[in-house]
Structure 1
Amino acid sequence: MIITDDFLPLPVPESLTATYLVPVSTPPDVTPTQALAALGDRVTELVHDLSRQMLESPLMTVDLRPVDEFPELPPDLLTAFGATEEQLGRLATATNLIVVQASYRPGWPPAHEWAARAVGAAMAEAVGGDLVDVFGLQFLDPATALRSLPDPEGRVRLVDWVLVPYSTAEGGLWFTTKGLRRFGLLELQAQEVPTHLTRGWGAVMTGVARRLLRTWTDGLSGIEVPAFVQLPVVTTVTDHDIAVAYGYPRQQDAAGPAALRLELDPATDPEADSFLTLLPPIGHPGSVSRYFAGVCTTLFGAPRSDVRYDRSDDAMARAVATARAGLPAIRERFVGGSLAGDLQLLVKYALATAEGPEYVWAGVDSWQRPEQILCTSACDAVADPTVRIGAAVTVATAEVVDWALLDRGSVVEGGWTQAVLDAGQRG
């Protein structure tokens, strides 16, 4: 390995482990193999074969353990990553845990994660329980977990595996990723992010994660696992990286690239995480905040408000009424599987704020109960800091004010309220 100022050598762990839990009070009456087989064509042949092979090998274990034999999961962090009171209550009253663990070498595919999530989701569905991703400290609806697994072409949405939480810090917002360590890579962080860039910078972080993860796994593609993988000190991110990370069809780069410098920030506490910090390239004359704002402008164009508040005019009322009238039919099409493979269903729902409802878009993952929709947030809410891009959210159907079908990132059906808002802006 040649060490230069242009590349950052990162050590490669010998193996990686995924852990998923299913809280239960009575032992399951099915085996993991039976539960996996019951999934049928809801997962691809690739996932079936990979999971079955790992189940039959020492690389995966599925054990039933008393709750007190497993380290306690912190309720505050589970809540921060979307856990509901009902889910926390079921975890608190469970007497046992089905513990699914799988280990594998770093590289692509991440067999340990795909197989452990598939088997864990199958067991959770078989017992009618919850699935807990220990790495992400996140409750996953079994149907949502299954939808996050690779499609027939082996593709996944990175936002189903890597979250981008943020918090207030001196000088702006502090963004991190949570999920890159699943693949052996260090997590990213960015500090001094302007507060008005919450949505845009979350997408930037996700796009950078996708670009670096590809470089990382390309470096691990050989037969032997290397001791180090070299990442470029200056990396670029484009709208293509962001689109692919969010599961939109591949497209030619229409904007960018934007450059960001990587700097290793090693932890001084052995129990803490080290980070790869995102910074402006060396020689940039302005502040970090100003450079980050410029990155968002390069990728997304001139900034505009992410918040949509209520408009009580007749056009908006008609748009909401039209959207709500179509909810039963679009649910039937979604649940019945009649939507084409490239179509994505989103719903727009209301969050209460002091200034009126804030409208938030979310991608639909599961809609088994007519009154409740399990989604992945498509944006960061201003009113609720737990609603962030890529976070799991539960939406009451009664709160939905619009829905839209997207094909290659463009609305092909629905989106009535958005059309009213856009028309108002043009006027």
Structure 2
Amino acid sequence: MLITDDFLPVPVPESLNATYLVPMAGLPTVGTKTAVQRLSGRLAEPVRGLARRMLDSPLMSVDTRPIHEFPELPPDLLTAFGATEAQLARLAAATHLVVVQADYRPGWPPAHEWAARAVAAAVADTVGGDVVDVFGLQFLDPATALRSLPDAQGRIRLVDWVLVPYSSDADGLWFTTKGLRRFGLLELQAQGVPDHLTRAWGAVMTGTARRLLRDWTDGLTGEEVPAFVQLPVLATVTGHDIAVAYGNPEQHGATAPVLLRLELDPATDPEADSFLTLRPPAGFPGPDGRYYATACGTLFTGITPDVRYARSGDAMSHAVATARASLGDIRARFLAGALPPETQLVVKYGLPGEDGPEYVWAGVTSWPTPEQIEGASASDANTDPAVRIGSAVVVEATDVVDWAVLDGTGVREGGWTQAVLDAGERPAPPV
């Protein structure tokens, strides 16, 4: 194998395993093959064929065991990864577990994961129960599990398979991925991420995972499983990678690429995980966190996609009034194609929330009437689960509080409220 400074040799495991559980009170009353057959109309190819073939092969096993024979699932970790009280109660009341396991070689498609999840969802669907993804320590209802499987074109959303947890340390936030090992690839990590980039950097990690997973599976296309796959030391990530990872390939801006350097961080403890660490390119002056902030600004078209709430005070009120007064003019320029070349128009608007409006940004794709704007969200919203990075949104002009024209370096025009926030203006004291 050729080793150069441009590539990082990453070891390839010989085989991969997927394990899914279906807790139930009593024994299953429907056979596994019958359960899969009942879902035939809800399973697209290639998953339908994979599930049937693997059920008939030694690559998959389906066993029913008394629940006390299986190691206890930690409720605290299940809760941390989204388990509800109802799901935990059903687990506590279960007497048996249907254990679905599958093995397969590294490469694409990940037949072990797709087939095992499909079979477990089919079994859970017959009893109105839950699927437990042992790798991710996540509960999935059957409908959610089925939605995560490939569509008729073989496409998946990577966010349904790879999580991005984070925690605080002395230098900022420590981000990791949890899910790339399903495909044989080491998990990613990044340290020293500034606190205000929580949501943005999670999306960048997901987009980076998508890019590296493509390089990884491209290196596994031969008939023989290689001992190593060479990944580029400098990974190139774009807004398109993020949009595709979130399942919105048609909703992405033409962002400049961002470079992230890969370092192999092998575990010293044989029981611990090794990581691929994301760092700035060699020679970057300053702390890593500064580069991460610049990368987020580039990938999210110059506007940090973190949630910002309204502040009272003269400066903010004046900024909103200025933006709203010029909406008609910027719409006319947008429709006439009169904006500067290689720029993007974005608007900031409010979503209703219990603590007041939540303000997020969206890239404008169409402005058919003065009253309504069509666009693609630049961030995930806290208050509306349907508003996700890259998702299509329709914005009422009356909800707009700011607009900006962005180029590769940031805000070129507009962005008055952002300037107030970035300047750290404080609300006026109450009278």
Given the two structures, how large is their TM-score scaled by the length of structure 1?
A: 0.76
Distance 1:222 1:67, change over 3 A: same
Distance 1:224 1:405, change over 3 A: closer
Q: In the aligned structure 1, how far is the partner of 2:92 from the partner of 2:172?
A: 36
Q: Report the counterpart of residue 372 of structure 1 in structure 2.
A: none
User: Can you give the 5+ residue segments of structure 2 that lack an aligned partner in the other structure?
Assistant: 313-350, 361-378, 404-414, 417-431
Q: Secondary structure at the match of 2:23?
A: strand
Aligned 1:53-64 pairs, distance under 5 A: 53-64=53-64
Distance 1:424 1:78, change over 3 A: same
Q: Report the counterpart of residue 111 of structure 1 in structure 2.
A: 111
Letter in 1 for 2:28: P
Q: In the aligned structure 2, how far is the partner of 1:36 from the partner of 1:211?
A: 33
Q: Secondary structure at the match of 1:35?
A: helix
Cα-to-partner distance string for 1:85-123 (whole Å, 9 max, x where unaligned): 111111112111010001000000000000000000111
2:251–2:391 CA contact under 8 A, matched in 1: no
Q: In the aligned structure 1, how far is the partner of 2:117 from the partner of 2:384?
A: 33
Deviation at 1:58, TM superposition (A): 0.5
Letter in 1 for 2:296: C
Alignment root-mean-square deviation, CA: 2.6
Given the two structures, how large is their TM-score scaled by the length of structure 2?
A: 0.76
Distance 1:410 1:63, change over 3 A: same
Aligned 1:311-322 pairs, distance under 5 A: none
Q: In the aligned structure 2, how far is the partner of 1:240 from the partner of 1:206?
A: 11
Aligned 1:171-320 pairs, distance under 5 A: 171-250=171-250, 254-304=254-304, 306-307=306-307, 309=309
Q: In the aligned structure 1, how far is the partner of 2:385 from the partner of 2:4?
A: 53
2:47–2:118 CA contact under 8 A, matched in 1: yes
Cα-to-partner distance string for 1:267-305 (whole Å, 9 max, x where unaligned): 111111111000011111111010100101111133346
Q: Report the counterpart of residue 367 of structure 2 in structure 1.
A: none
Cα-to-partner distance string for 1:218-269 (whole Å, 9 max, x where unaligned): 0001111111101111111001111111111257861121001001111111
2:381–2:388 CA contact under 8 A, matched in 1: no
Q: In the aligned structure 2, how far is the partner of 1:134 from the partner of 1:257?
A: 35
2:380–2:387 CA contact under 8 A, matched in 1: no
Distance 1:33 1:223, change over 3 A: same
Q: Report the counterpart of residue 16 of structure 1 in structure 2.
A: 16
Letter in 2 for 1:32: T
Distance 1:265 1:67, change over 3 A: same
Q: Secondary structure at the match of 2:46?
A: helix
Deviation at 1:20, TM superposition (A): 0.5
Q: In the aligned structure 1, how far is the partner of 2:243 from the partner of 2:400?
A: 22
Aligned length, in residue pairs: 349
Aligned 1:5-404 pairs, distance under 5 A: 5-250=5-250, 254-304=254-304, 306-307=306-307, 309=309, 350=353, 356=355, 359=358, 379=380, 381=382
The answer on 1:422 being equivalent to 2:400 is yes
Deviation at 1:30, TM superposition (A): 0.7
Distance 1:304 1:236, change over 3 A: closer
Letter in 1 for 2:282: I
Q: Secondary structure at the match of 1:159?
A: helix
2:6–2:234 CA contact under 8 A, matched in 1: yes
Q: In the aligned structure 2, how far is the partner of 1:95 from the partner of 1:17?
A: 25
Identical-residue share of aligned pairs (%): 67
Q: Report the counterpart of residue 322 of structure 2 in structure 1.
A: none
Cα-to-partner distance string for 1:304-340 (whole Å, 9 max, x where unaligned): 463255899xxxxxxxxxxxxxxxxxxxxxxxxxxxx
1:60–1:103 CA contact under 8 A, matched in 2: yes
Q: Secondary structure at the match of 1:101?
A: strand
User: Can you give the 5+ residue segments of structure 1 that lack an aligned partner in the other structure?
Assistant: 313-347, 362-377, 382-399
2:67–2:96 CA contact under 8 A, matched in 1: yes
Q: Report the counterpart of residue 410 of structure 1 in structure 2.
A: 392
Q: Secondary structure at the match of 1:8?
A: strand
Q: Secondary structure at the match of 1:64?
A: strand
Q: Secondary structure at the match of 1:214?
A: helix
Q: In the aligned structure 1, how far is the partner of 2:207 from the partner of 2:153?
A: 21
Q: Secondary structure at the match of 1:230?
A: strand
Letter in 1 for 2:157: R
